[in-house]
Chain A
Amino acid sequence: MTEPRPDKNQILAATGTLCVLRPAQSVAGLQRSAMPRDGALDLFLLVDDTGAVTAFNGHVDLGTGIRTALTQIVAEELDVALERVTMVLGHTGLAPNQGATIASDSIQVSAQPLRRAAAQARHRLVELAAETLGLDADTLEVEDGIVRPRDGGNAGLTYADLLKGRAERLLLSDDIPVKPASAHRIVGQRVPRVDIPAKATGSFTYVHDVRVPAMLHGRVVRPPYAGIDAGEFVGKSLIWVDEASVAHIPGMVAVVTMGDFVGVVAEREEQAAEAARRLKVEWKPTPTLPDLDNVENALRAIPAENRRTLHERGDPDAARAAAAETLDRTYVWPYQMHASIGPSCAVANVGEDGATIWAGTQNPYPLRMDIALLLGLPEEAVEIVRFEAAGCYGRNCADDVAADAALLSRAVGRPVRVQLTREQEHAWEPKGAAQLMQVKGGLNADGTPAAYDFNTRYPSNAAVTLALLLTGRVPADNPVFEMGDRTAIPPYAYDHMRVTVDDVAPIVRAAWLRGVSALPNSFAHESYIDELAAAAGVDPVDYRLRHLHDDRAAELVKATAARAGWQKRTAPRLEVVEGDVVRGQGFAYALYVHSKFPGYGAAWSAWVAEVEVNKRTGDVAVKRVVVGQDSGLMINPAGIEHQIHGNVIQSTSRALKEQVTFDEKAVTSREWGAYPILTFPEVPVINVVLMPRPDDPPLGSGESASVPSAAAIANAIFDATGVRLREPPFTPDRVRAALSGEAAPKPVKEKRRRPWFAMAGAALAGALGMATLALPIRGAFPPIAPPDPASFSAEMIARGKILAALGDCAVCHTAEGGIANAGGRALHTPFGTIYSTNLTPDVETGIGSWSYAAFERAMREGIGRDGRHLYPAFPYTAFTRISDADMQALYAFLMSQAPVKATPPANRMTFPFNIRPLMAGWNLLFLTPGQLQAEAGQSPQWNRGRYLVEGLGHCGACHTPRNLLGAEKGGAAYLAGGVADGWEAPALTALSKAPIPWSEDELYTYLRTGFSRFHGTAAGPMAPVVQELAHLPDADIRAMAIYLASFAGPASADASAVAATLEAKAEASLRPMDSVGGRLFEGACSACHAPEGPTLFGARPSLALNTNVHAAQPDNLIRVILEGIPAPAAPALGDMPAFRDSLDDAQVADLVRYMRAKFAPDAPAWDGLAQTVARLRATPTQ
């Protein structure tokens, strides 16, 4: 199923058609698009001589099902079957301009001309039939497009017949009556959605699925001021882009820069993604934000320059002064996000004289205007083709990405598809604004409200399409919209009332989000009246009804309360469920009034929320919500019910869990761990009460049921606990703090310091005996012609190949993405960076001219063919121990590889290690040349294992600590833990911090599969080691395990029992929702790492047993979080993604702190985590 896009000109030129048209209108709104041309006509409806009906609407389906509801409206008025009707939604130049799809207006407002068009078309078709049949039109009826006499008879004409050869062109008239509700057969029915079968089978085309010929893939690179779009610096912060940093990526087409707009284009999507990640971009520092951990203070600090008084009655000041009890209250709403499940995507094809944009926009015509402005084209040269996207619930990045695609397409002269990343969508989507509501009022002696002086403060934001700001096309001085006034007037008849709104300047990029400003305003109204009722000692529903002078509202309130089994109370009931768990029931009601003040109402909604609060943990569970709604005439009650379910779940999520986080510069909620939303186990039971109002006009139902949510939940928490919460989200820490009468703890931010790098190597210069300089450089072996591979036996080469795998030659001697053994991989040591050499038999750049004698000397003594010393990053101190036969086989294999011409980069060693002859002295001190001799008294397997481990396997090279001069320590330090290429190589001896000591079986399993259930997964440099070991027979792996196990501490008698104890202890320790780190873990890690998580492909490492979590240093855990496991040791383990671009240093530190405390509760906490994260981030190993 794809978006239908017929050709309007062809339609209008064709005979056999009936069209209903209306003069094109200029649409006022937040963004006013161009005036239509004089005489331009919008097409609303087409009936053709096949009997098909095509209907056009300017509002689009945002996943709410309005396509289906509109189909019902058209089919109803035309008297055709639903299947005959196709809806065309939102394409510019084809669908009428009806403004942005906002304010739940699609059915209530934008469907009205369409409904009349369908009625008019039917009227005309009946008229034509009457003429043809020679009967009075009043005597005819229509059934599924067949017009026939009402009194029966055989005469019947189909719409298709009637239109043969005709070209009916009707101007939309206001005079044709639409059907009364009593005549409805399709409207009012629970009709299945037209789009769901295609969506459930993968045959629906979302904008993400649009592909056009010759299309390239783009990604954008956003500035560091993520989510901030006002200020002088916007569009002016780029210093430079290093295009060379991505030149090596295959498929690169272009790097595009305009102001602060930066994008990349490549042939393939993963190439573009890689380029965007790798592109080096330098930005100027950007200003510091107000402290948004304290939303209230940040909002109070904005100057209020535009106070509007929306309503004034009586004398609220005097009435408050005279009140028996003064009751002033402040309510605060956090920044929240739309959090679309799919990050926005668009395709653009921009040519010299026009542009086509395939977009998931909510606002096709306003977007067209923006694209025209951005590209300097007239509006009519831009076509927006609208496709469905992920649900947006307001304005997400759908328009932004369309503009991004337009810029990239113009730059490369081909169609470009741009997919935003999750991080970009989270960080840059225009947020639902924070809001501050203050009520000054009180209670009279008789319990009636004395006064209601309400002020709401809304940091508005126009959320100008981002590319316009980033390119400097539009200055970043966003206008302040009058947007804080939605539902600002309370529904209750307070005698003395003042309602004022401060529309203030933005702090962060924001736009409308479901229930824009109305949800926060209603949170205040409905919390406050609950507070009044409690102070007056009156049941909160009764109290509302006394002051709610709207019969329709009162009926809804009563019906909802009755359905919920409302328990009357005059004070909080504090009902105990069991132990610390208490239960409460809360009420709230709202008529969602939206659009430019004074606006108008959508559907009425009322909530009864039932919650359980654990007074010890602070957990709030919304168990059941009874929600009543009066939507007037319901086009599709099933659709309305689904919208109510969706609103209840989403707004419960907002009330309980959601708040955007910031650091001092930008948004830091960039994935689902940092912005948790409600999950399946938390979803309440929902009972819907639909008020039957078929004779009243249909009302918007897309947002109303969100509006009472937070107040109903807060009121229920009050009923359960007697404690009033006035700032969502109602997280456990806030609830605990409120219950203990303290302010909720603000998250502690670790102070950031500049990373500090130890310069160990340079300090050691003096330690090295200068006398060694006097030692002669060793002689060179003469170059030889490369030996003919045929001179080696196939068996010998094959054995050499296995030995090369054991020796991990290719692990170090292969550059990332390079040819095996051709060298060039950077090895970072404390003494500088060494690049591995080319081990292929190329004469000039490899070892092609090396004789066996030269090769053997290199392997056993660390001296190159030319007599130069090699650095002991090359583990010749281990290789010296291998047998002659193995050495010869290895030589045979290396010499029989295909030669590759490749010169590695020059080493970058620090003084004095850059003086190679010093290595001679080093060798004198630390090299014990000679083959390994079997140890009598040990088993042949043990001796074989020792030969493999100490020789070619060179395990000690990483797992043995080195002394100040970089030599492996001996004795008890052997295998006691070292460092490998920026990763910690854990101790394999009794010094291991692993909670369960290594056993022979676990070592075998780990070396064979890359995974041990008691230790974890091979990551970092160990993953390729295990990959290489796959070439070895089981017997050799077993021998290695036997030998290594002889170093491990005493084995656990019952490792499984110990594991179970450790896991139970971890499970019982911290709760994820109690800390930032825990929430990050829950959202980012648990799907793959929670013990009770879903069955997913790959290993599920138990973190309570993980060596890295129990290690002395956090480095490996941090590394694996930052870098992931991009090439796992074995495919069956599954892949682990890198979180480097998703979590900042403070978040990784929080996450690691939580993991340590939860999964290794007996181990000491790690210090200086944020600094360690910064240091490791600055020295990536992948």
Chain B
Amino acid sequence: MSEPVQFQVNGTAHAFALPRSTPLIYVLRNDLGLNGPKFGCGLGECGACTVLMDGVAARSCVTTLGTAEGRAITTLEGLGTLAAPHPVQAAFIAEQAAQCGYCLNGMIMTTVAFLARTPSPTEDEVRAALRYNLCRCGTHVEILRAVMRAAHGEASE
């Protein structure tokens, strides 16, 4: 077995003596018990598994441990908590931006990364930024409102 692969998750250092080809999502979910990232397609198509890697959105189902080595990973759990949610989480809660909620992790993580680059987006920019995050319940309207609320304060109806 090769050298353990080291990286940070939500601020804590971890090392895993696993093949470097191991998909990151399984390590986050099964070894660290982090349920935020969801398995959606395994192909990087839907975005349900999104995490932040050094602040950039990454699809953890197609990211290997080798790629994650030495980086700082943030999952949904690392953003905030029930008691103290991250502003984007708070905006999603305020706008009730979930139905089944399975895609929600990807929507929130992608939004956090997007707003860090584009703090004051137009709605068209938000739509473009989330274009490759799929939602099947049709929660798009509430999600758009949540992103606009996170960016601009309370959404205008």
Contacts and interface: CB of A to CB of B under 8 A. Distances in A.
A649 interface: yes
A1161 interface: no
B132 A199 contact: no
| B96, B110, B127 interface centre (most CB from chain A within 10 Å) | B96
Contact of A1131 (B41, B69, B140): B69
Given A196-B101, A642-B99, A679 B134 contact: yes
Interface in A1084-1133: 1084, 1086-1088, 1090, 1092-1098, 1126-1128, 1131
A62 B100 contact: yes
A1094 B57 contact: yes
Contacts of B42: 421-422, 1137
B129 interface: yes
B43 A205 contact: no
Contact of A1094 (B26, B38, B129, B143): B129
B69 A201 contact: no
Contacts of A642: 96, 99, 139, 142
A817 interface: yes
Interface in B30-53: 30, 33-36, 38-48, 53
A797 interface: no
Using C-beta atoms within 8 Å of the partner chain, give the interface range for chain B: 35 or more
Contacts of B38: 206, 208, 341-342
A410 B89 CA distance: 41
Contact of B136 (A339, A645, A1086): A339
Contacts of B66: 1127, 1131
Contacts of A681: 124, 127-128, 131
A1136 B62 contact: yes
B155 interface: no
B96 A193 contact: yes
A203 B82 contact: yes
Nearest to B129: A1094
Interface in B6-29: 19-23, 26, 29
A680 interface: yes
B108 A200 contact: yes
Given A268-B26, A1135-B63, A1087 B44 contact: yes
Contact of B80 (A64, A193, A201, A1134): A201
Contacts of B77: 201-203
B123 to A, nearest CB: 10
A393 B136 CA distance: 9
Given A1131-B66, A1134-B67, A205 B35 contact: yes
Nearest to A645: B141
B131 A201 contact: no
**Secondary structure class of chain B's binding surface, majority of residues:** loop
A646 B82 contact: no
A825 to B, nearest CB: 16
A270 B23 contact: yes
B113 A1095 contact: yes
A208 B39 contact: yes
Contacts of B101: 63, 195-196, 199-200, 204
B33 A196 contact: no
A677 interface: yes
B117 to A, nearest CB: 6
A211 interface: yes
A1126 to B, nearest CB: 6
23 contacts: A198-B82, A200-B93, A201-B77, A201-B82, A202-B36, A203-B81, A268-B26, A269-B30, A270-B26, A341-B48, A341-B136, A389-B102, A645-B140, A646-B99, A681-B124, A817-B19, A1083-B45, A1095-B117, A1096-B57, A1097-B56, A1097-B67, A1127-B64, A1135-B63
Given A1095-B56, A1127-B20, 17 more contacts: A62-B100, A197-B93, A209-B35, A269-B26, A270-B26, A341-B134, A342-B39, A1087-B44, A1087-B59, A1094-B131, A1097-B54, A1097-B57, A1097-B63, A1126-B64, A1127-B21, A1128-B67, A1137-B61
Interface of A: 62-65, 192-193, 195-206, 208-209, 211, 217, 268-270, 338-343, 388-391, 393, 419, 421-422, 638, 642, 645-650, 653, 671-673, 677-681, 683, 686, 817, 1083-1084, 1086-1088, 1090, 1092-1098, 1126-1128, 1131, 1134-1137, 1139, 1142
